[in-house]
Structure 1
Amino acid sequence: MPLSDPFMFPFRRVCGPASDTSVLMFCSQGYLVLLAWTPPPLYELPSEKHYCAPKDPKTPHPLPSIRDAASLDLSIIIPAYNETQRLPSMLSSTLEHLASFPKRTFEILIIDDGSSDGTATAALRLAADHYPKADVRVVQLERNRGKGGAVRHGMLHARGRRLLMADADGASRFADVELLLSALDALAPAESDAAGIAIGSRAHLVNTEAVVKRSLLRNFLMYGLHTVLRLVGVGHIRDTQCGFKLFSREAARALFPRQHLATWIFDVELLLLAKSLRIPVAEVPVTWHEVAGSKLSVARDSLQMLRDLLVLRANQLLGRWSTMEERLKAE
């Protein structure tokens, strides 16, 4: 295959005008592996562009767009995969806290990520029975996309000036959203069109019982992940994986349409995009505790994270996925 072939363009950037056939073959094989590992573009099915509400759970309503103007103060996006057991407690603590701020308008978007335990139905029934006045919307994805895919879907259809992703297990204390809101207001005032992100961080818990009591394997993999993250360019963030992150509407508009990864490591892609776009990020210590029932398989998903990090950086370096601000503006 000649080096002038368009298919070979990425090889020339990495390998140069190599005359050694073995080097060319190595690059070719590596590129084919990258293509095989690269996930397909994220997309939405027609049914997923609608939500159901507790008052009329069988009637779908069209979802709005992140491109629309904000119409309320706070959107809470909860990705949920088989969460019938843990969601009630999380919703209870969330709505109990929000009740303390009666002037704050909000919505709760529960994204059922292709659950098999009736999470969507249970969420609608729970809201109808216990929180009939709360603005709860439930979206059901037809198949499991991964946490990143569920979060992205919710962000693209939220109405808030501030958009919070919060895990369904309630591991992060929801009241700490006030700390994130204060930090985000310092970066990007709510009345402005500025972009900013405030992320919950558990880095301050490293030497406490919350982390020390975890398994040796889990802590080893945690430190290994941190080392790799420094190498890929997000070493300035001490905790990239906490599932408690707050975005201004402008930041959400800039980041989520360009997200490629739907797996656990999607947070890293968002933070790399934010870094390239010079969107400021505040890392805020939050209260966190381990909750039983995690969907994370430590060994398997750690290997998946490592592979996805390699895929992410390789696609960026080859120009297939760009984080460069001028490329994003050119789209």
Structure 2
Amino acid sequence: MRTDITPIPGCPGASGAPGEVVEPATRTLPDGDALPARHHLPALPPSRTVLDVVVPVHNEEAGLEACVRRLHAFLTGNFPYGFRITVADNASVDRTPQVAAALDRAYDEVRAVRLEEKGRGRALRAVWESSDAPVRAYMDVDLSTDLNALLPLVAPLISGHSDLAIGTRLAAGSRVVRGAKREVVSRAYNLILRGSLAARFSDAQCGFKAIRGEVATLLLPLVEDTGWFFDTELLVLAQRAGLRIHEVPVDWVDDPDSRVDLVPTAVADLKGVWRIGRALATGALPLGRLRRPFGDDPRDRELAGVPGGLARRLLGFCAVGAVSTLLYLALYSLLRTSTEPQVANAAALLLSALANTAANRRLTFGVRGRERAVRHQAQGLVVFAVGLALTSGSLAALDAADAGASPGSELAVLVVANLAATVVRFLLFRIWVFRPGRARPAPASRPSSAHPATDTPAPTAPPAAPAPGPAGHDERTRA
């Protein structure tokens, strides 16, 4: 599905041509890794747009003009780079289009566009995809967030330090004024995200976010939601892809006129959490294509005398090992009631070894995607054979010493033998199965045109994504 962004009649388009229809980027994914290494944006003349701030609106005729005038005055007096303010009107039925058109005519830096379908996520995706600015942001029309946080929000993206940046109302340094109901809802929602999707960002729904242009080009086609869940889905996918998310504590004052219907929105969000969790669990999302090239991360570098990530991997391996040991003992105890010790041991060890290899592959050694997954499991079976020899030999020795040993004695012997097998397993995983490796060859250079704003190679045009979901709710600040 394609979404057209049409400048409101009488207003210039992105390039200044009256009546121009701005087409968003084709929603296709590139072959291979396309994100370049992060770099500080080059010094650009004030006439070049560095930041595109989107203000999504729906039926906001009363507050739109004051918002844009205040934002424009702030950026003119305080922002040291070229900027643009894009008013994204999605299906308003009041005078919002006329107000936006008047602002477009009054300010060279203001652009008004119109979408015929409702949904904040749909508006943000469409405008961000069509923008040529190297940094793209958005904020709610009520300007609940103090604008002094804008430069700290986008500075890490301009410098190349981070990929996305979000304002947070839940950090220790934030100063927030709002009612108890919205506070409880907001914190409960973020607890759900942490528990179900392992989210590490603190505030998914604060209407104050920014993203680097090349990241938006590749990440947005993977985001399906077109309403309020858009922000959460964007952040979860970025985190799972290994992108860096910068958080800025903000001063935030609740808008008493917020018209968000909390119950339907909460239900839609929970459905989105379930959909994303299922897609991540099945590996349906090609997140590997969003990774930075080898060498961009300092953890890629090999330093003499410094084994990369040893402590972290050892802790992860111990955690996975503890869980798989409990699984192994539970399976052995269950199978032992109906079969011989050696058969029960082999079956329990095989099943737990398959789960152990898959968990260590993803959690301990950070290997994602399906590439070489079968080979890793085959190598894991060789490691399993070593563990089987140790545990089976221990059981045989116990039987030779005491033919009538109790099940408790068998379990004690197996725990000791399994600990020895665990040490061997970690060494084999580290130096053989998931070997940290030799430096990856640099990808072949591909001819490409320069990015208009950064003079860096433009990312390949991205793959068709699923059609957008149902439209979102009212375009106001939410909990």
TM over 0.5: yes
Structure 1 Cα separation of the partners of residues 95 and 244 of structure 2: 39
Deviations 1:2-37, CA, capped at 9 Å, x for gaps? xxxxxxxxxxxxxxxxxxxxxxxxxxxxxxxxxxxx
Separation in structure 2 between the aligned mates of residue 314 and residue 107 of structure 1, nearest angstrom: 38
Is residue 251 of structure 1 aligned with residue 215 of structure 2?
yes
1:1-331 counterparts in 2 under 5 A? 43-45=1-3, 48-52=4-8, 59-63=18-22, 72-101=49-78, 104-128=81-105, 132-144=106-118, 146-186=119-159, 188=160, 196-204=163-171, 210-211=177-178, 214-216=179-181, 218-325=182-289
* Distance in 2, Cα, partners of 1:73 & 1:208: 29
Following superposition, the deviation at residue 320 of structure 1 comes to 4.5
Decide which structure has greater strand share: 1
Task: Give distance in 2, aligned partners of 1:209 and 1:280.
Answer: 25
- Give 1 or 2 for the bigger CA radius of gyration: 2
Contact 2:142–2:255 under 8 Å retained in 1: yes
The alpha carbon displacement at 1:124 in A equals: 1.0
Q: Deviations over 1:207-231 (max 9, x none)?
A: 96614xx143x33322321221012
- Does the C-alpha gap of structure 1 residues 55 and 308 become closer, same or farther in structure 2, counting only changes over 3 Å? closer
- Name stretches of at least 5 consecutive residues in structure 2 with no aligned partner: 27-43, 290-368, 371-459, 464-479
- Give the match's secondary structure for 2:215: helix
- Contact 1:52 1:61 survives alignment (8 Å): no
Counterpart Cα distance in 1 of 2:78 and 2:86 = 19
Given that residues 65 and 156 in structure 1 are in contact (C-alpha distance below 8 angstroms), is that contact kept between their aligned partners in structure 2?
Answer: yes
After superposition, the CA RMSD in angstroms is: 3.1
SS of aligned partner of 1:159: coil
The range that moved more, 48-57 or 230-239, is: 48-57
| CA 249–228 in structure 1, closer or farther in 2 if over 3 Å, else same | same
Unaligned runs of 5+ in 1: 1-42, 190-194
Output the CA distance in 2 between the equivalents of 1:76 and 1:240: 19
Relative to structure 1, the CA distance from residue 103 to residue 293 in structure 2 (aligned partners, 3 Å threshold; closer, same or farther) is same
Classify 1:290/1:163 alpha carbon distance in 2 versus 1 (closer, same or farther; 3 Å): same
Amino acid at match of 1:301: T
Distance in 2 (alpha carbons) for counterparts of 1:209 and 1:275: 26
> CA distance change for structure 1 residues 322 and 297 in 2, over 3 Å: closer, same or farther?
farther
Q: Summarize the Cα distance change of 1:156–1:124 in structure 2 as closer, same or farther, 3 Å threshold.
A: same
Structure 1's 287 and 230: CA in aligned 2 closer, same or farther, altered over 3 A? same
Are the aligned partners of 1:180 and 1:284 in contact in 2 as well (CA < 8 Å)?
yes
| Contact 1:54 1:137 (C-alpha < 8 Å) held by counterparts | no
Q: Distance in 2 between matches of 1:235 and 1:320?
A: 19
With over 3 angstroms needed to count, the CA separation of the structure-2 counterparts of 1:66 and 1:100, relative to structure 1, is: farther
Instruction: Tell which deviates more after alignment, 55-64 or 263-272.
Output: 55-64
Find the counterpart in structure 1 of residue 38 from structure 2.
none
2: CA distance between counterparts of 1:248 and 1:66?
15
Q: Distance in 1 between matches of 2:198 and 2:92?
A: 32
- Answer whether contact 1:273 1:323 (CA < 8 A) is retained: yes
**Structure ranking higher on relative contact order (CA contacts 8 Å, 6+ apart):** 2
Q: From the superposition, tell whether residues 133 and 226 of structure 1 become closer, same or farther in structure 2 (CA, over 3 Å).
A: closer
Q: 1:289 to 1:209 in 2, by over 3 A?
A: closer
With over 3 angstroms needed to count, the CA separation of the structure-2 counterparts of 1:44 and 1:249, relative to structure 1, is same
For the residues of structure 2 that align with 1:72 and 1:262, how far apart are their CA atoms? 26
Q: Look up the equivalent residue of 1:138 and give its one-letter code.
A: A
Write out per-residue CA displacement over residues 261-281 of structure 1, whole angstroms, 9 at most, x where no aligned residue: 112111111112212322111
Compute the displacement of 1:307 (Å).
1.8
Please state how far the C-alpha of 1:152 moved relative to its aligned partner: 0.7
Question: Matched residues in 2 for 1:102 and 1:310: separation?
Answer: 40
Identity across the alignment (%): 23
| C-alpha spacing 1:118/1:322, structure 2 compared with 1 (3 Å) | farther
Matched residue type, 2:116: E
TM-score in terms of structure 2 length: 0.51
Whole-angstrom CA distance in 1 between matches of 2:133 and 2:12: 23
Question: Given the superposition, is the C-alpha separation of residues 102 and 310 from structure 1 closer, same or farther in structure 2, using an over 3 Å criterion?
Answer: closer
Q: State the AA in 2 paired with 1:141.
A: L
